[in-house]
Amino acid sequence: MTKELLSKRGIDFESLDIENDPGALEQLHRLGLKTVPVVAMGERYVVGWNPPRVAELVGFDLVERVTPPGELIDSIKMVLEAAIRAVRQVPDDRLMMKSPDRDRPLRQLAHHVFRVVEAGVDADVLGEFPAGVWLFGKDIPAHTSAARIARYGESVRAKFEAWFSEIDAAAFGREIDTDVGPRMLSQVLERTRSHAAQHLRQLYVFLEWSGVRPDRPLTPDDLRGIQLPDAVW
C-alpha cells in the first residue's frame, strides 16, 4: 500500500526486499530498525503505514478521510462476516497451502485476518497498538481445521461487537500509542479495516485456487471507501 501511495503521486523510489536481499536488510539495520514497511530518505524515515508522515517526508499534500464512527464499525463487521464465511469454505487439506511469494500457510493468514480486528479492540482497551505484536503473527499448528479457525473468528466478532456497542462517538478521537506515533482510535481502526479487507481478498484467491467459489464475496462496491492496494498480493 505504501508503494502504491507513492506511485499514484508519480514519486520515484527504489523498492528493496529484505527477505531476499541481504544488502536491503543491512540498510534497515543500519537505521536501527527491524520492521517494515519503511520509507527512507537518507537518515530520515517513516516506519509502518502512516500516509500523513510519508507525505510530510516526501513532500506532497495529503488529507486523510475520516470515516464516521458508525460507518467504520459497520464496515469492519461486514469484513468480519465475509471472512468467517470464506474461512469456513477452506478445505482442511488446503490449510498448509502457500502463495508463490510468501512463506506463510493459509491457516496462518486465516487466523491473522481475525487477529488484526481483535488488535483494534485491544488498542482501545490498552491504549496502545504495537504492530510487532499483531503484524508479524506466527503460524498456529493447533489450527487443524477451517471450522476451528472460523470459531476463533466468531469469538473476535463477538468481542468486537460487544466492545464497540458500548462506546460513544467521542471515544474515536481518543489518542492511541502506536508503532507510528500517537494516532486517534478512528485511525487505528481504519488501519485494521484496510489490513483485514486486504487479507479477505487474499482468502478469496486461495479459495479460487482450491476450486471453491466464495460464498457471497464482497464486491468492489462493498469495499468502496476502504483504502486497498490495486494488487491483491
pLDDT per position as a tens digit, 79-109: 999 999 999 999 999 999 999 878 899 999 9
**Lowest-pLDDT range of 60-64, 76-80, 200-204:** 60-64
51-66 per-position pLDDT tens digit: 776 777 777 766 666 7
Residue 113 has pLDDT above 90, yes or no: yes
Side chain identity, residue 159: K
54: left (phi over 0), alpha (psi -120 to 50) or beta: alpha
96 and 154 share one domain: yes
Q: What pLDDT sits at residue 188? A: 93
User: Residue 5 in contact with residue 54, Cβ under 8 Å?
Assistant: yes
How far is Cα 26 from Cα 136, in angstroms, rounded to an integer?
20
Q: How many domains does the chain have?
A: 2
CATH number, domain with residue 173: 1.20.120.450
Cβ neighbours around 147 below 10 Å, total: 12
CA–CA dist 60, 5 (Å, integer)? 11
Above 90 in pLDDT, residue 208? Answer: yes
Residues spanned by the domain of 27: 2-58
Query: What interhelical angle do 69-89 and 106-126 show, nearest 10?
Result: 150
pLDDT in tens, 11-48: 777 787 776 777 777 777 777 766 667 778 877 877 76
Q: Which three cell numbers stand for residue 154?
A: 466468531
CA angle 86, 90, 91 (to 5 degrees): 160
Q: Does 127 map to a domain?
A: yes
Give percent of the chain with pLDDT exceeding 70. 88
Residue 101 lies in a domain: yes
Residues 106 and 180 in one domain: yes
What's the pLDDT score for residue 135?
A: 75
Q: Is the pTM of this model over 0.95?
A: no
Residue 176 placed within a domain: yes
Residue 184, beta-bridge partner list: 175
User: Is residue 21, in this structure, part of any structural domain at all?
Assistant: yes
Alpha helices in 31-68 (DSSP H): 51-58
Q: Is 189 exposed, middle or buried (0-12, 13-18, 19+ CB in 10 A)?
A: buried
Q: Are residue 6 and residue 94 in the same domain, yes or no?
A: no
Q: Per-residue pLDDT for 119 more than 80?
A: yes
Q: What is the pLDDT of residues 155-172, one digit of tens each?
A: 999 999 999 998 999 999
198 falls within a domain: yes
Residues 131, 173 within the same domain: yes
- Same domain? For 106 and 200 the reply is yes
Mean pLDDT of the chain: 87
Residues 76 and 182 in one domain: yes
Amino acid in the structure at residue 142? A
Q: What is the pLDDT of residue 43?
A: 79
First to last CA, the chain: 10
Residue 63 lies in a domain: no
